[in-house]
Structure 1
Amino acid sequence: MAPVRDAAPNYLEKHGPTYRVSYPIPKDLQKRFGKMRLKASLGTGDLRKAHRLKTQFIARFDEQIELVRAAIRLERGSAEDKAKLLKSILAQPDLDPAGIASARMDIELEYQGLLGKPISHEFIVHDDGEEDQYPIYEPSREANANLFLSKVQPSLEEKLDAFVETWIDTKLEKRTKRTKEDTRRAVRYLKDWCKSKNLPLDVAKMTSVTASDFLDDFEGVSGGLQGITRAKYLNRLSMLWVRLRQKGWVTTNIWDDYRIEIPARNERSLERAFRMDEVRRLFRGNPPDKLRDVMMIGLVTGARLDAIVSMKVGDVLPGRLRFEPRKKEIKERFVPIHPLLHPMLKRRTSGKSPQDDLFPDWPAPKQKDSLRERSFKASNAFTDYRRKCGVDEVVDGDRRSKVNFHSFRRWFITHMRRIAPLDMVQSIVGHSHGNEADDTYVSTGPLFDKARRYIWALPIPPDNDDYVPEPDGVNLYDTELTQEKSKRRRKYA
């Protein structure tokens, strides 16, 4: 008995108690398929459900038909057309392993067809007595076959670019957007150098000599970048080679034996914590509320600026603040709330949902692919304000000031360390303890109530116009600073 089809051409037919899809094959392909229709059971007798299920089968049938058409074009086309088609097939990002194997088989068949039969053979006897036989092909046919391979297979540059992108997107490479872009930029520097030297970008043939020559020219290739920045790119190349070695692309890490010399910074040029009077001046300088608020959190929590401006209202919990991990931190941190923060936090959380930004006045970059951190504008605004307050210190020959927003974190650590144990300070600011007992097993850290007492005991500079002297530690900054402090004390005495 013939199957019963619905009157409408919806590609469904009743087959026993269930429905199945029955899809017509174009007439010009029916001989190739050996049948007139493609069919698949839907496993349901419910017509509505069958209508919902048929769509995915129809799409699959269309793909099968298109693949057969592509195979026919491949058979009839020229070697160049076949190369373009096969290369486009291999470039599909969602191509499954079966599709890759099929395309590679087509490449091999076409390559062997272009080579033809060997015209002779060469016999080579090795030192161990083993004998190998190598076929010799007609030179023009071999040249055409190799030309076909060069067109169908991605270039060395394309292969490396694809590998880099795949590596960057894996869970093994847990990095910020900016660090991922550093990897791409490092590879671009290497590619530019290879082109300038007329060298192929073949990582398998690169040696330590290649690495040495590249590093000799790196400053010029990179446009005169500073040593510390070039060292960063060298590190990204070294990390890439580690991954290439794991995948069998290379046998050694050619960058292992090389380091970029970074001029040592003396103590006078090191970035430092804010001094007590500098903190007083920063808060007495009438900063805008959106800047004062992040400054206050930085002062009494030691949190990084990006972690502060990225907070949500839901990160303000009873008695504590939650900060998402930054830098090398692997988990969120909870820091006791200092009493100075209560009025500001109440103002910023009142009437808002937990998903709202705590600092909407410092929004994230509008462009999703921007490499700038959310704190970029806040950092620039603070730098301008800091200089306006006269809080600055630049050593001759240095580009950066010795003080910046991170100096709040240094201030917090400095003064906490004078009143609290080391493990307490490390736990609050998210530093590694450097031992397995604290970093792995004592995962909850010191007691929260103790941390609260230490934070509440921080020596916050008074909110007035009186100069606040710097308490002397064991290691004074330098003799010049000591003399300057003595003069100020006499002035304000």
Structure 2
Amino acid sequence: MPDDLEIARHAEEAEREAFRGAPKRAYEDALLAHVPVDHFLDAYFNGAKLAQKTKNARRGLINQFARWCVEEKLTLDRIDRRIIGRYVTQRIDAMHPTTAYAHLIALRHYWVYLHARGHISNGDDKGGAWVGQQIKDNSRRVERGSQDTERPFTAEEVITLIHSPYPVRQRPEFQEQIMDALKMSLLSGMRMAEVLTLWAGEVHDGVFDIQQGKTDAAARRVPIHPDLVEIVERRTKGKGPEEWLFHELQNERDAGDTFGKRFHRYRLKLGVDDKHADRRRSLVNFHSARRWFVQSARDAGHPSETVGDVVGHVPNKRDITFGVYTRGASEAHKRQCVESLKLPIAEAP
């Protein structure tokens, strides 16, 4: 009959024997942070007191950095100020200042968590090396002939995007997704992220009830255009309140980036482009649908304040009458604005 000491010794040997090979390496890698940058991302968001949409947005931004680190063969333990500075220079500097700032904020908060849990050794409670990263000033002196800016789709471009035969070699399962998202943005003025991450429970009583966004004004109620009713009914049918209308994107690591690339390929295959030699980006992109809505509403004679309330622009606080003393356009005026727009159709030959 073995005594207690012998039992304890056998138990220790059995545990040591079991904890070897791949499990042992995985444990040591996690202990020493020899793991991908996004290794602790699920744990971070499980404990983060953030709205689900904010989590989705930040997850996408952090995953962009994680993918870059995979490309550069960098694990979490190797990320220092020099590496972060290189990423900012290569990727963040080229972004719009608002997007760049959101990118830095997301990564800074993740780094605070990694430091607090002891997953990194070179952090602090403010964000470590992400703090103090300056965003490049992309402004430049305006020269003659250089005033070209990103613009709305023209009527002809909208017709091409909506009514053309689906491009050859474009994956057919994306057709409905692209067409639904495009029409929703054209006829509501919603941003791409707002369209893609809309919950089924946020569609009710004839409105898109957007709960949050990049500014305070982004939380708003947008009347559903009659031409979008079929899309809405199809995409909300049988879904729970927190399921996405675009459910096929809900499990993507970065829904906006994934869809943006699909639409980009679709647009180029149809020849809808406006790229100048001195510009990195085309003057048209998915955001041009939102711009088309604003331009069309303006051309229809709707007040800028009403259009701004529909698309979620921040009121001009210098305008005492409309920016301070009013609570925005009425539901009736917003609905009148939305329903006055019609998608262009090709003229019969």
TM superposition score category, shorter chain reference: 0.5 to 0.7
Q: Which structure dedicates a bigger proportion of its chain to strand?
A: 1
Q: TM-score, structure 1 length as denominator?
A: 0.45
Map of 2:275 onto structure 1: 394
CA–CA distance in structure 1, aligned partners of residues 49 and 241 of structure 2: 31
Map of 1:261 onto structure 2: 136
Deviations along 1:75-100, whole A, 9 cap, x unmatched?
Answer: x979xx7xx9xxx9xx99xxxxxxxx
CA contact (8 A) 1:294 1:309 kept: yes
Runs of 5+ unmatched residues, structure 2: 167-174
Q: 1:406 aligns with which of 287, 301, 306?
A: 287
Letter in 1 for 2:189: G
CA contact (8 A) 1:280 1:461 kept: yes
Assess, with a 3 A threshold, how the Cα gap between structure 1 residues 254 and 316 changes in structure 2: closer, same or farther.
closer
Map of 1:446 onto structure 2: 329
**% identity of equivalent residues:** 23
Letter in 1 for 2:136: E
CA–CA distance in structure 2, aligned partners of residues 432 and 262 of structure 1: 23
CA contact (8 A) 1:364 1:374 kept: no
Say whether residues 1:429 and 2:311 are aligned partners: yes
Larger radius of gyration: 1
Could you tell me how far 1:410 is from its partner in structure 2?
1.3
Runs of 5+ unmatched residues, structure 1: 1-25, 33-68, 93-150, 196-200, 202-209, 467-493
SS at match of 1:297: helix
Deviations along 1:428-472, whole A, 9 cap, x unmatched?
Answer: 22344476x999998x75310111122233475455269xxxxxx
Say whether residues 1:175 and 2:175 are aligned partners: no
Deviations along 1:39-80, whole A, 9 cap, x unmatched?
Answer: xxxxxxxxxxxxxxxxxxxxxxxxxxxxxx8xx569x979xx
Assess, with a 3 A threshold, how the Cα gap between structure 1 residues 383 and 331 changes in structure 2: closer, same or farther.
closer
Say whether residues 1:302 and 2:189 are aligned partners: yes
CA–CA distance in structure 1, aligned partners of residues 44 and 231 of structure 2: 41
CA–CA distance in structure 2, aligned partners of residues 356 and 257 of structure 1: 40
CA contact (8 A) 1:363 1:374 kept: no
Assess, with a 3 A threshold, how the Cα gap between structure 1 residues 374 and 192 changes in structure 2: closer, same or farther.
closer
CA contact (8 A) 1:313 1:355 kept: yes
Map of 1:228 onto structure 2: 94
Output the aligned Cα RMSD.
5.7
Larger RCO, structures 1/2 (Cα 8 Å, 6+ apart): 2
Map of 2:169 onto structure 1: none
Assess, with a 3 A threshold, how the Cα gap between structure 1 residues 376 and 439 changes in structure 2: closer, same or farther.
farther
CA contact (8 A) 2:62 2:107 kept: no
SS at match of 1:335: strand
Map of 1:53 onto structure 2: none
Q: 2:255 aligns with which of 355, 364, 373?
A: 373
Assess, with a 3 A threshold, how the Cα gap between structure 1 residues 171 and 276 changes in structure 2: closer, same or farther.
same
Say whether residues 1:457 and 2:323 are aligned partners: no
Could you tell me how far 1:373 is from its partner in structure 2?
1.2
SS at match of 2:182: helix
CA–CA distance in structure 2, aligned partners of residues 262 and 376 of structure 1: 27
Q: How many residues align?
A: 307
